[in-house]
Structure 1
Amino acid sequence: MSEFLLCFSSKKELPGEKWASGFPPFEGVPRQKLAYCPESRLAVKLFSFFASSKLETRHSAHVQRFKQLISDLEGAVEADRPDEKHKAIAVLQELFSGFVGVAGQRTWATHSFIPASRFLLSREVDWRHSAALKKGVQTWGEARPYFTSGSHNFMARGGEVLFLQLWHALRGTPPDLQQWLEGRYPYIHWPEVAARVEHGLDELLGEIDAPLAELGSVIEHAGTREPAIEELKNDQKFGWVPRASSQEAALFAWELANIVASQQDSLRKVRVLQDLCCLQVLRSICFQAARLVGPDGQPQAADFAGGYAWITVGPQAGLGTDLGKVSKASHSATEDLLYKAVRSEEVPALSGASPTDAAADKADQHAFRLFRALGKQIGLIVPRTGPMRFTLSGTLVEATALALIPPGERVSFDEFLWRLYRHFGIAVGAAQIEAASSTLAEGIRLAPQRDSAAWLEDELKRGGFLIALSDATPLVETPD
């Protein structure tokens, strides 16, 4: 999600055009390379994360520059006593370090902020610690060449793919996309989606940006003192996405527009958007796999364009139940689809490379193994070990409700179940499971069960999204 929002907010270089942020228009799909210029925020990262970073990668040159940065900032604080200056800087440090997104065992330069504002977005920066030690680096000036970007060790282009999918769908205007949506998703008013997405993301990134940017500029100004903490300014080249991915991108765009327009606070929107981005990665993998493996490239399930299904049960449903067994079979069928896709003869050869067993095995890391790991991480796949099945965690129920129902609108529970299926392939109700059964092996079927979606009703009720009616199907709504 951080990489996706970084691509969105950064200035982009278009063929024959000026730099522009957001989703600038372009004519068709450009043949030339596209690039963007993201910020690195190196001074702010040093200030915020150095004290809590991995000890083994705290180079002596970093220690010296960190101490100088703190000293310069304290000198800029107007206070009567030194301890008050120290306290003011400590509070500022706690503020920015509190927005830490990904840290783990990384060094301070490779930490990332929660993408809650435009100022907190920053590119991937690597510190080549071993190489610096080998060369005997002693000063900050000598250390500068060992900060690098663009290796895609952490921001591995997943967010870039999401951005390019949206950019192509929203601005490339695939000729048959609107017709496809009108036939399958009549409630999506496509001409309005582009403006809703761009406006909503701008508002989200700007909601708390002004105070953070003002405070951050003080840190960056202090970082200009010699030896200056120079930002990494080199361009980042975009990759590419298949044209056919505009279908799942269009669904993603409408869902994203609903989330950013919701009445949640900005930090909650960021959390929900993170789940949606993960679901889009998994959905896109399955959409593309079905295009390669499905009969004649057509969807295997007539009422869902993706050609796959995730038959989903309650988090507590045991594997011994009929629903649990069918969900396990659905998970196995999905992984089998992804396994076959990377070995399909329809996969185009890239850069003249010939497919080998080793290449296919490596591709599995970005296919069914990625699907499994990411699915477990967000609560779509349980348990952590043992036979796996699909479910929806409480956070995913919230994310799908906010994504599939525009703010202030209501739909019947049955309609919500169909939207879950027709957007993500998530089959919960008896009718959806029956429709999804065509994606399973012959002989694996489930007898209709009226209460198969009862657990989801309970989850929606706990989240405040369900209006129970005594004489009719419940309604699902999002707060106005």
Structure 2
Amino acid sequence: MYYPNIDKINSKDEVIKENLAIQLYGKRIYEGQTVGEYLLEFLLVFLGCNDGKGGFNLKHGLNDQVKYITNPNIGLKRFIFFENSKNENRHDIDRMASDELNRLLMENIDSEKFSVNQVLYQIKDLFYGFNLITKQRSWFAQSMMPLCKDLVFCEAQNNTSRKRMDYYPEESSKINSSVDKDFAFTKHSFLGRGGEVYYMHLLQGLQEMTDASESLKIAVELDNRIRGLLSSFPHFEVLSKYIQNKWNDYLTEHMHKKVSSESKNWVQEYHVQKMDCHWIKSNYVKAAPYSIKELRNILSSTINPLEKLELINIGIILQMFRLMINEAYFVATGCNENKPVWLVQVPAIDKVNPKVKMMAVKYYSKIENYMTNALSIQLDNQKAMSSDESSDDRNADIKKLKDAYKNSHKLMRKIGKDIGLITPITGQNMRFTITDDIMRYLVLSLIEPSTSITLDSFLAKLYEHYGIVIREEEYTRHYRSLDSNEVYAPSLIKNLEEFTIQLRNNGYLKELSDATAIVMNPYDKED
């Protein structure tokens, strides 16, 4: 039921105490997570697995917890974000650490045209211009675009003790050994495990492949391409390493060492954080071939690296939704051989077709109903397994369901609206739609670089991979697969017309004749 086997890493008694959504979908995404953090968390796990060597360990035991290590690089993070963040939680110990690092760097700046102070702040502005998530967060909870390995920061949360900390404790000449350590690195409030789930989903898919040599080949390819993507910005890589190493050297000389002080690598030991993933549903393996193929196609296309990172982020979210929706459908209906329809209303050039809109609203509502019904079934299962006499408390049941909704369909609403998959932003009649960015992801992930397929084949792939329905043919095919009566939707003809216009306007559609059109991935394949 779960991957890895929870009997080996958690007792079932502990699992049934979890939020109902976590029981249903695995130890997974959290309501506080934002769009960019799915990608960051995936990269954290990818880079930190195998004792920090990174990649996909195909020999990982099916009964073993997936573990990874990460270096928070607090010195570099403080350098980028501290002075641009709100005053709250800018404590004296960090202000002094920030000033000290600034001084160290300015000592090594040589410029004829600008003052050393100007150069320093140009470097800060260069980094800050590529921030990914700042919002109103404190400096230690902000994030960068993953332009290189050192900028993939793990989550760090404030400890109240920092407010009272001295940079030089007890009149010592040595720096407080907690200057970069006294943060909560494992709470998963912002990095809420969505990226961990995606990593385990890919690993599960690679391990379950029947051809071991093909599995290894794909794992190595993914490894090389992800590392190559994170090496696309060498100037940031050099600057990041230089800044963090300057801080590390300073700590080596001036810190009051309380950890492995005899070790030559004590600074690395001081910084490294040990993390762990938990579990996902074993049923997710059915979608893994699609997820792996989509990621391979995006990574192998010669897209601008920044755009590629953005597309991968969209892809992770779409694939997470696919896992959640399919699992909810299976639990709610008992049907594991089919999937629910994602009926997508394509934005209209002029007037929205009201029939298509109402169909899209209806089928989005069905998906949310599957998710809420599945949680109710999960609650019944929890009560059946629990020996708690208070399990028949109706008010407690309602609270459990409400808490689970936040991490289920309500989370999907929020993230879906953020990426443009769900419309409108506010108000009623929610439905799936398709933006240019989502269309770009779907084309480039479902079609291999420098190749093309017919429009009919592309529409069939959309349904096969996601359950996405644009036109009547897939709609009818879906009901036929359920042994239902023939169902027709002639109003979807207009939806298909709008879809072809959107494809054409984005440069992905080429019409060969009145009857034939092809959809193409115009990018070459990277070596």
For the aligned pair, the TM-score class normalised by the smaller chain equals: 0.7 to 0.9
Letter in 1 for 2:374: A
| Equivalent in the alignment of 1:47 | 79
Task: Provide closer, same or farther for how the CA distance between residues 56 and 444 of structure 1 changes in structure 2, counting only shifts above 3 A.
Answer: farther
Q: Which of 50, 62, 84 matches 1:12? A: 50
> Could you tell me how far apart the structure 1 residues matched to 2:92 and 2:149 are?
31
| Equivalent in the alignment of 1:302 | none
| Equivalent in the alignment of 2:184 | 148
1:460 aligns with 2:503: yes
> Could you tell me how far apart the structure 1 residues matched to 2:276 and 2:409 are?
27
Q: Which of 321, 326, 330 matches 1:282? A: 321
| Equivalent in the alignment of 1:132 | 162
| Equivalent in the alignment of 2:247 | 223
Once the two structures are superposed, residues 64-123 of structure 1 have per-residue CA deviations (whole angstroms, 9 ceiling, x without a partner) of 221121111001123468x53222212221222122111111111111111232222121
> Could you tell me how far apart the structure 2 residues matched to 1:335 and 1:117 are?
38
Report if aligned partners of 2:77, 2:140 keep a CA contact under 8 Å in 1: yes
Q: Which of 412, 419, 437 matches 1:378? A: 419
> Could you tell me how far apart the structure 1 residues matched to 2:487 and 2:415 are?
26
| Equivalent in the alignment of 1:173 | 208
> Could you tell me how far apart the structure 2 residues matched to 1:318 and 1:289 are?
34
Report if aligned partners of 2:140, 2:157 keep a CA contact under 8 Å in 1: yes
**1:37-436 equivalences in 2 (<5 Å):** 37-79=69-111, 83-128=114-159, 130-133=160-163, 136-139=164-167, 141=176, 143-144=179-180, 146-170=182-206, 172-173=207-208, 193-208=218-233, 210-224=234-248, 225-226=250-251, 232-295=271-334, 297-299=335-337, 305=338, 307-316=339-348, 321-345=354-378, 349=382, 356-385=397-426, 386-436=428-478
Shift of 1:221: 2.5
Letter in 2 for 1:217: K
Task: Provide closer, same or farther for how the CA distance between residues 228 and 465 of structure 1 changes in structure 2, counting only shifts above 3 A.
Answer: farther
> Could you tell me how far apart the structure 1 residues matched to 2:351 and 2:323 are?
29
Report if aligned partners of 1:437, 1:445 keep a CA contact under 8 Å in 2: no
Report if aligned partners of 2:151, 2:240 keep a CA contact under 8 Å in 1: no
**1:446-457 equivalences in 2 (<5 Å):** 446-447=489-490, 449-457=492-500
| Equivalent in the alignment of 1:181 | none
Deviates more, 1:353-362 or 1:59-68: 353-362
> Could you tell me how far apart the structure 1 residues matched to 2:351 and 2:368 are?
20
> Could you tell me how far apart the structure 1 residues matched to 2:365 and 2:501 are?
27
> Could you tell me how far apart the structure 2 residues matched to 1:347 and 1:220 are?
51
> Could you tell me how far apart the structure 2 residues matched to 1:47 and 1:353 are?
52
Deviates more, 1:354-363 or 1:109-118: 354-363
Shift of 1:34: 2.9
> Could you tell me how far apart the structure 2 residues matched to 1:109 and 1:3 are?
16
Question: TM-score, normalised to structure 2's length?
Answer: 0.78
> Could you tell me how far apart the structure 2 residues matched to 1:244 and 1:398 are?
28
Report if aligned partners of 1:310, 1:390 keep a CA contact under 8 Å in 2: yes
Shift of 1:358: 2.2
| Equivalent in the alignment of 1:184 | none
Q: Percent identity?
A: 23
Report if aligned partners of 2:67, 2:277 keep a CA contact under 8 Å in 1: yes
> Could you tell me how far apart the structure 2 residues matched to 1:212 and 1:228 are?
27
Shift of 1:359: 2.1
> Could you tell me how far apart the structure 2 residues matched to 1:318 and 1:383 are?
16
Deviates more, 1:448-457 or 1:245-254: 448-457
Once the two structures are superposed, residues 418-455 of structure 1 have per-residue CA deviations (whole angstroms, 9 ceiling, x without a partner) of 1111111110012123334589x999973454332111
> Could you tell me how far apart the structure 2 residues matched to 1:191 and 1:475 are?
33
Task: Provide closer, same or farther for how the CA distance between residues 326 and 237 of structure 1 changes in structure 2, counting only shifts above 3 A.
Answer: same
Report if aligned partners of 2:345, 2:360 keep a CA contact under 8 Å in 1: yes
Task: Provide closer, same or farther for how the CA distance between residues 169 and 407 of structure 1 changes in structure 2, counting only shifts above 3 A.
Answer: same
> Could you tell me how far apart the structure 1 residues matched to 2:44 and 2:386 are?
31
Letter in 2 for 1:207: S
Shift of 1:199: 2.8
- The alignment partner of 1:36 has SS state of strand
Shift of 1:472: 2.9
> Could you tell me how far apart the structure 2 residues matched to 1:347 and 1:84 are?
68
> Could you tell me how far apart the structure 2 residues matched to 1:444 and 1:344 are?
29
Deviates more, 1:55-64 or 1:1-10: 55-64
> Could you tell me how far apart the structure 1 residues matched to 2:218 and 2:408 are?
30
Report if aligned partners of 2:72, 2:271 keep a CA contact under 8 Å in 1: yes
Once the two structures are superposed, residues 242-268 of structure 1 have per-residue CA deviations (whole angstroms, 9 ceiling, x without a partner) of 222112122111000000001111111
| Equivalent in the alignment of 1:185 | none
Shift of 1:124: 0.8
> Could you tell me how far apart the structure 1 residues matched to 2:105 and 2:410 are?
47
Letter in 2 for 1:199: N
Question: TM-score, normalised to structure 1's length?
Answer: 0.86
Shift of 1:345: 4.8
Task: Provide closer, same or farther for how the CA distance between residues 270 and 395 of structure 1 changes in structure 2, counting only shifts above 3 A.
Answer: same
- The alignment partner of 1:57 has SS state of coil
Letter in 2 for 1:160: E
The count of corresponding residues between Structure 1 and Structure 2 is 448
Report if aligned partners of 1:6, 1:38 keep a CA contact under 8 Å in 2: yes
Shift of 1:164: 0.4
- The alignment partner of 2:68 has SS state of strand
> Could you tell me how far apart the structure 2 residues matched to 1:337 and 1:319 are?
27
- Between 1 and 2, higher relative CO (CA 8 Å, sep ≥ 6) is seen in 2
Shift of 1:378: 1.1
Report if aligned partners of 1:292, 1:347 keep a CA contact under 8 Å in 2: no
> Could you tell me how far apart the structure 1 residues matched to 2:435 and 2:308 are?
17
Task: Provide closer, same or farther for how the CA distance between residues 192 and 391 of structure 1 changes in structure 2, counting only shifts above 3 A.
Answer: farther
Task: Provide closer, same or farther for how the CA distance between residues 44 and 144 of structure 1 changes in structure 2, counting only shifts above 3 A.
Answer: closer
- In structure 1, stretches of 5+ residues that fail to align are 14-18, 179-188, 300-304
> Could you tell me how far apart the structure 1 residues matched to 2:109 and 2:275 are?
37
> Could you tell me how far apart the structure 2 residues matched to 1:407 and 1:298 are?
32
Deviates more, 1:220-229 or 1:460-469: 220-229
> Could you tell me how far apart the structure 2 residues matched to 1:402 and 1:236 are?
33
Report if aligned partners of 1:37, 1:235 keep a CA contact under 8 Å in 2: yes
- The alignment partner of 1:470 has SS state of coil
